[in-house]
Homo-oligomer: A and B are copies of this chain.
Amino acid sequence: MLKQKITLKHIAKELEVSISTVSKALKNSEEISRDTKEKIQAFAKLYNYKPNNIAISLKNKRTKNIGVVIPDIVHHFFTTVVRGIEKHANTKGYNVIVCLSDESFDKEVINMEMLANGSIDGFIMSLSSDTQLRNDYNHLKEVTEQGIPLVLFDRVTNAVNCDKIIIDDKMGAYIATKKLIEEGRKKIALVTTEDYLSVSKARTDGYLKALNDNNIKVDNDIILRLPSMGMQEELFKEFFEKADIDAVLCVNEIFAIYGMRCVKDNGLKIPEDISFIGFTDGLLSKYANPSLTAIAQHGEKMGELAAEMLIEKVESEDESETFQTKILEPTLIERDSTIN
């Protein structure tokens, strides 16, 4: 019988600590107490823990599989990126294996461990919100240090050296806010998340810059900062009942759709009384009532380019470590939730 490979998760369970603690302890992080580190390191040594120990043979034995890890499947954006990845990968003879982190750090680590274990030639990933909140990227560094190519898209971090592809989120929010200002809106609300999420931070920056450039004072009372990209209906209802506003920019289309429902319930007309713009441009934006003016993130294009960048790295004989970050330009798609 083959000996079962020991994983970060096994160690964490055995020693009753978190996966993150194990990961940090094995990296000798100063965040972890000496006692805990010694215990974890001794255990790992005893059981001959090696990070992704089959992966070493990868360069010689290609699987022609690409591993994709995305945070959720509720937001249409990630679906379109996967479609783009599939499109390019399939023309190059690669299969795409998609795993969901469900916005959880632990699941992201477990998925990566599993995939890196000889199943794939490289990773395309968008970080979970939990990972961005913890600011812990050791599991990604482990993969890149072993020479497994990695492309991060949309939710990325400066902490890891790898290829990246994003849209210019700041510009997207800027364009949207400017459009609302040009309509004559003065009290433009922003529905976003806390700043730890890289895309929300950039979109908030774009919104603030557009207000500043047009001499509109920032009013923190009309900025709703949610804890995550998940819906929280109660917080919405409360916000839209109290807020004195004439336009809303939302960082995703589900927020925008719920927001429109809230203001309609309060007797307002869209776009006569209040305008809405949302990020993503998915199926919901197209078919909502009214249809939603949107910032298109070009997910399919992003996926195609990510796959292209990854496969190039996988097939390259060049061992030099040069990485690039591609930045796509967002586009404003005007529909019925704004005045045209």
Contact = CB atoms under 8 A, between A and B. Distances in A.
Interface of A: 1-2, 4-5, 9, 13, 53-54, 56-57, 61, 63-65, 73-74, 78-79, 82, 86, 95-100, 102, 106-107, 110-111, 114-115, 118-119, 254, 257, 261, 283-284, 287-291
- Per assembly, the copies of the chain total 2
A54 B2 contact: yes
A80 to B, nearest CB: 9
A115 B113 CA distance: 12
B97 A110 contact: yes
Q: Looking at A2, A56, A96, A111, which has the most chain B CB atoms within 10 Å of its CB?
A: A2
B86 A96 contact: no
A18 B287 CA distance: 40
Contacts of A283: 254, 257, 284
A100 B118 contact: no
Contacts of A86: 102
Give the top 7 A-B pairs by smallest Cβ distance, nearest first: A289-B289, A73-B73, A98-B100, A114-B119, A287-B288, A257-B287, A73-B79
A96 B115 CA distance: 14
A5 B2 CA distance: 11
Contact of A82 (B4, B64, B73): B73
A63 B10 CA distance: 8
B98 A99 contact: yes
Contacts of A119: 114
A287 B290 contact: no
Contacts of A284: 283-284, 287
B57 A1 contact: yes
Given A65-B110, A73-B98, A114-B114, 20 more contacts: A2-B57, A5-B118, A9-B63, A74-B79, A82-B100, A96-B107, A97-B99, A97-B100, A97-B107, A97-B111, A98-B98, A98-B99, A98-B102, A114-B119, A283-B284, A284-B287, A287-B287, A287-B288, A288-B289, A289-B291
